[in-house]
Amino acid sequence: MERADEVSQILHSFTAGNIEVDECFCMVLSIEGYEKTRNEFLERINIFKHTDPNKLRSLRRVYVTYFQLGNQAPYSDFTDPVGVSVENGFLTSDFGYELDMEMALSNSFSQQNLGGDYHQTGTVNEHSKSYANVVDNKNRSGSLENCKAISEKDVGTFAQFRNTHLNSKVQHTITSHKMHVPGLSIETTKTKNKRKKKSSRCENDIQRPLSSKPVIYWIRRDLRLFDNPALNAAQEEGAPVIFTFLWAEKEEDPNNVVAMGGATKLWLHHALQAFNNDLVEKYGTGIVYRKTDNSVKEMKRLFAETDAKCLVINNVYEPFLTCRDDKLCKDLQDRGVTCKRFDSYLLHEPTSVTTESIGMRGIGSVTHFMEICRQSATKPIGHPLDTPRHLPKVHCVPDHNHLDELELAKMPRRKDGTVIDWAAPIRKQWDFGETGAWNALELFFQEGIRKYEKESCRADNLNTCRISPYLHFGQISPRAVLTQARGMKSPKFMRKLAWRDLSYWLLSLWPELPSQPIRVHYRDQRWSDNSVHLKAWQKGKTGFPLIDAAMRQLWQTGWMNNYMRHVVASFLISYLHLHWVEGYRWFQDTLVDADVAINSMMWQNGGMSGLDQWNFVMHPVDAALTCDPDGAFVRTWCPELARLPNDFIHQPWKCPPSILKRSLVDLGVTYPQRILTKLEEAREQSLKDVVTIRMKYPHFVDKHSGNDLVPLPSGLLLPCITRREFKYKTSNPEAKDNPHTAVLRGYRSRKRDEAVAFANQRDFTASTMNEFVMRKERHDRASQFSSAY
């Protein structure tokens, strides 16, 4: 069928009432693409001008919202910048999560940036400087013109990184770089970076100290040379630099939220080691490690010992760490020390994003966050900074601990004294240094990104970039990633960086995010305390192969992909009814990228008490159709099931005894029996539990829209996106006539899968079509139901 015909047919379906307005728009967008839809859609829908002005208006609304035209819309009489679905003035999303993702495209960094800089976060306090300031200052003094010139070539970031970071190495050769993922092995093409001709000494380089009083660079989560504003600021001081790392374990975790679990500590140990090596190689000095109970005191002591005149740091954003840093800087300033703080961990520093602009439209997910960012007029993020070529050495290195004395990677011992080296498989998997981050990103841009938009969910293939631990420890800056990603045409990937910012924004508003529900009334939600279930989930022994494979991968490698994190989280919360905090704590301990802000945001969302309630089903068997259709992932991590045929690999309990025997599987002996059999019942129960809470606290439910009301720290109650299932019949959502419960029941069919596969081939907007297919099914089934009765 011709495209034009397809579009006419879709519009026809819309007029006939078969599809809803947002579906209609998304399908047209999917067929016509961004530009064509933008240019021609309004003209096309003019056919409704006389026949159905209401339909015309609703289509215009979606169009305006999608392209964010506001009052500049071609039809200036339309001044109502409403969301896709408007319920009593609150932006809600029929498509929920996926639509949010899709809608976010219209606000995406790439789109915003077509004509200029990315928005930059504001400053934390008077001592803070933005990236932009740093670049400006450097340009003013003329010291980094050269670097800036390079930086402005957006796509040159890889080269820029290599040239500056690796310039002391004879040759950087990635010969068949391998990602060691058991069951997966991806080889890149050979890339060579020949050493740049050794340049004559750059006039901007500062080799000799201008001042003898040292500057202290306090290293925290910024273990990188490239695009490191604090490091560049240290260079500007023209003084010897003392690289310092303080380890105050209790301080990292005052609220007992497992801020640093075993896996992240292990990562930190190796990342510090790698960073230390880089510093020694580049500047001839390594890190001064100190173990302490109180970093404010320790830092003041170090200043007294060394007579240093200046502190440079890149900010971290956990509220309790920010308070600590504020205190330290104030104390030091009172003693005449200069403190320079930089924002480089996020693209939007939390305090630069105001809550004022939320208004009464409500809050929800990343779409709203990006909108709020735009309205907060944050500053451009500027361009990545090159690595300083030279930094003056200190004559006398202060006392310090050895890295091992920090005991970050200390392994437990058995009674007989032998070491339990649980970290061995993790060490095998990862290159913990800054170069590892760039290699992972490069590999992703060569191989994975092509599949990212449509197949990032695959557990049996590595289609995501696996840079989360590097981003967490600041071994690569989000700005550098974004700069590099610009040319890659993957808005979905770039949006992910906005999710990161969102999580820190939430944490700054709700410091108790890791333990207390944002929707406060959900505090009374009923949870199970079945410790046997919890153990089975943690150890990958639930009897559900997909869940077990993912949990074992997590244990052995410290990582699992985003889709699988959703699957195992749904299982813990919605089927086992275990508290989301249990999941959060386990992830904090076992993930190498464990991040208090991101992890708690995601678990809260899964637990229904977060801002962005999950509105999809992650069925422990059905999900495999999407992420592990042939069972390769399960076979890798549950080798005891490897011989099962594809039909039974995800549900061995359905396997006939003879085949089980032939496959050497003895359920309950070689592989556990399922810990739960009545999945539907369990799922419905978890739904009821939410409804019970909403009924118990009606004053936290908006009467008009049915949305939950969330108290902001300011005391204001704001509506918050709430699943349609909960809103449909607040008192009885599991009612048979609730058209939305089909989603909750995880209904799947071959026809549907074919439809989704077809949709997936179209383009990235397929995710919304996926939702359309689901909705159509629900609609069909509702019609069948009503005709049957």
Ligand X SMILES: Cc1cc2nc3c(=O)[nH]c(=O)nc-3n(C[C@H](O)[C@H](O)[C@H](O)COP(=O)(O)OP(=O)(O)OC[C@H]3O[C@@H](n4cnc5c(N)ncnc54)[C@H](O)[C@@H]3O)c2cc1C
26 binds ligand X (CB under 6 A): no
Nearest to 725 by CA among 703, 704, 744: 744
Residue nearer to ligand X on the CB measure, 218 or 614: 614
The answer to whether the CB of 204 falls within 8 A of the CB of 144 is: yes
90: β partners? 87
Indicate which single residue of 566, 723, 748, 775 sits in contact with ligand X (rule: CB under 6 A).
566
Closest approach of ligand X to the CB of residue 344, in Å: 15
To the question of whether residue 389 is assigned a binding role by annotation, the answer is no
464 binds ligand X (CB under 6 A): yes
To the question of whether residue 468 is assigned a binding role by annotation, the answer is yes
Using CB under 6 A as the binding rule, the residues of this chain from 470 to 489 that contact ligand X are 471-472
Using CB under 6 A as the binding rule, the residues of this chain from 501 to 530 that contact ligand X are 503
To the question of whether residue 307 is assigned a binding role by annotation, the answer is no
Closest approach of ligand X to the CB of residue 758, in Å: 24
Residue nearer to ligand X on the CB measure, 259 or 679: 259
> How many residues are listed for the chain in this entry?
789
Sign (positive or negative) of CA dihedral 420, 426, 428, 430: negative
To the question of whether residue 467 is assigned a binding role by annotation, the answer is yes
Indicate which single residue of 499, 505, 510, 671 sits in contact with ligand X (rule: CB under 6 A).
499
Indicate which single residue of 497, 518, 644, 675 sits in contact with ligand X (rule: CB under 6 A).
497
To the question of whether residue 501 is assigned a binding role by annotation, the answer is no
The answer to whether the CB of 52 falls within 8 A of the CB of 61 is: no
Indicate which single residue of 598, 665, 679, 687 sits in contact with ligand X (rule: CB under 6 A).
598
Closest approach of ligand X to the CB of residue 471, in Å: 4
The first and second tokens of residue 479, run together, are 């700005």
C-alpha pair distances (Å), 374 with each of 109, 112, 119, 213: 10, 9, 8, 42
C-alpha pair distances (Å), 438 with each of 326, 433, 465, 630: 32, 9, 10, 31
The answer to whether the CB of 632 falls within 8 A of the CB of 509 is: no
344 binds ligand X (CB under 6 A): no
Residue in the structure block whose two tokens are 């970093």: 295
Residue nearer to ligand X on the CB measure, 244 or 264: 264
Residue nearer to ligand X on the CB measure, 22 or 593: 593
Closest approach of ligand X to the CB of residue 591, in Å: 5
For 631, left (φ over 0), alpha (ψ -120 to 50), or beta?
Answer: left
- The amino acid that residue 521 corresponds to is H
Residue nearer to ligand X on the CB measure, 292 or 557: 557
Residues 775 and 769: their CA atoms lie apart, in Å, by 9
To the question of whether residue 595 is assigned a binding role by annotation, the answer is yes
Indicate which single residue of 98, 595, 628, 777 sits in contact with ligand X (rule: CB under 6 A).
595
466 binds ligand X (CB under 6 A): yes
- The amino acid that residue 551 corresponds to is M
Give the CA-trace dihedral at 483, 485, 490, 491, to 10 degrees. -20
137: β partners? none
Residues 40 and 67: their CA atoms lie apart, in Å, by 13
Closest approach of ligand X to the CB of residue 548, in Å: 17
Closest approach of ligand X to the CB of residue 472, in Å: 6
Using CB under 6 A as the binding rule, the residues of this chain from 765 to 784 that contact ligand X are none
To the question of whether residue 589 is assigned a binding role by annotation, the answer is no
Q: How many amino acids of this chain bind ligand X (CB under 6 A)?
A: 28
Closest approach of ligand X to the CB of residue 567, in Å: 9
Residues 131 and 383: their CA atoms lie apart, in Å, by 8
449 binds ligand X (CB under 6 A): no
186: β partners? 179
Residues near 274 by beta carbon (within 8 Å), at least 6 away in sequence: 223, 432, 433, 434, 435, 436
C-alpha pair distances (Å), 776 with each of 23, 322, 780: 10, 49, 6
To the question of whether residue 48 is assigned a binding role by annotation, the answer is no
- The amino acid that residue 298 corresponds to is E
Closest approach of ligand X to the CB of residue 549, in Å: 16
Contact string 573-592 vs ligand X (x = CB under 6 A) = --------------x---x-
Closest approach of ligand X to the CB of residue 259, in Å: 11
288 binds ligand X (CB under 6 A): no
DSSP letters of 619-683?
A: -TTTHHHHH-TTSHHHHHH-GGGTTS-HHHHT-GGGS-HHHHHHTT--BTTTBPPPS---HHHHH
Indicate which single residue of 95, 247, 303, 603 sits in contact with ligand X (rule: CB under 6 A).
603
565 binds ligand X (CB under 6 A): yes
Binding stretches for ligand X (CB under 6 A): 456, 464-468, 471-472, 496-497, 499-500, 503, 561-562, 565-566, 569, 587, 591, 593-595, 598-599, 602-603, 606
Residues in binding site for FAD: 452, 464-468, 493, 593-595
Residues in binding site: 452, 464-468, 493, 593-595
